[in-house]
């Protein structure tokens, strides 16, 4: 049964919201200049969006839940960020091919695994030619059984299978910093759109 994300926000049942940006993202932004437009699908309350804005990028936070967008917009802006209520799998025409970067954090692990190839296609379609896809993937969400979720686990071979048809791997690494309890369970990748 698909998750009703709006209902989760209405009930304030948002365990994925850790109250701040991804530690792996903050480490990346401390060493790498990210400029231009950045799409953040599944942005929630916008913590990662604001991190990009503070570093000079022009991020667009996208979420399917209106209450997530409302929560994001209630927090003071950090720069040139924008929030849009919408579906990554049905991007408005003005957002297709409009981004220099896409940032992935908690969206890929939240969708049904049968949609992963469609996700890769959607990210590819959102990026400009040679656009960059930066992601932190949740390899082991510690569910009772494989396939339980969300969050849904992913393996590195599956990442290769899903993304290699449309993206070139630039580099990958185990993030030095994660949220408590996620140590050695997250994997970061930087990929470039073909």
DSSP annotation of 77: P
pLDDT per residue as tens digits for the range 115-149: 999 999 999 999 999 999 999 999 976 765 666 78
Instruction: For residue 86, give both structure tokens.
Output: 């919408």
Where do the structural domains in the chain lie, given as residue ranges?
42-141+151-185
pTM summary value: 0.94
CB 48 within 8 A of CB 25: yes
Average pLDDT, whole number, for the chain? Answer: 94
Q: Identify the CATH class of 42-141+151-185.
A: alpha beta
Q: What are phi and psi of 95, to 5 degrees?
A: -100, -10
Q: Look at the block and give the residue holding tokens 């400029």.
A: 35
How far is the C-alpha of 30 from the C-alpha of 58, rounded, in Å? Answer: 17
């Amino acid at each position: 049964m698909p998750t009703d994300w709006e209902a989760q926000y209405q009930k304030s049942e948002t365990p994925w919201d850790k109250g701040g940006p991804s530690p792996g993202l903050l480490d990346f932004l401390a060493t790498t200049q990210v400029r231009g437009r950045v799409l953040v699908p599944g942005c929630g309350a916008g913590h990662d969006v604001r991190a990009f804005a503070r570093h000079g990028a022009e991020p667009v936070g996208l979420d399917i839940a209106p209450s997530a967008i409302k929560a994001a917009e209630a927090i003071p802006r950090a720069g040139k960020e924008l929030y849009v209520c919408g579906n990554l799998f049905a991007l408005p025409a003005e957002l297709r091919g409009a981004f220099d970067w896409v940032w992935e954090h908690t969206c890929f692990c939240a969708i049904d695994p049968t949609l992963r190839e469609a996700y890769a296609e959607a990210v590819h379609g959102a990026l400009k030619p040679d656009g960059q896809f930066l992601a932190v993937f949740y390899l082991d969400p510690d569910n009772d059984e494989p396939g339980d979720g969300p969050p849904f686990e992913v393996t590195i071979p599956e990442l290769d299978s899903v993304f290699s048809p449309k993206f070139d791997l630039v580099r990958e690494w185990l993030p030095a910093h994660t949220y408590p309890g996620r140590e050695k369970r997250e994997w970061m990748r930087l990929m470039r759109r073909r």
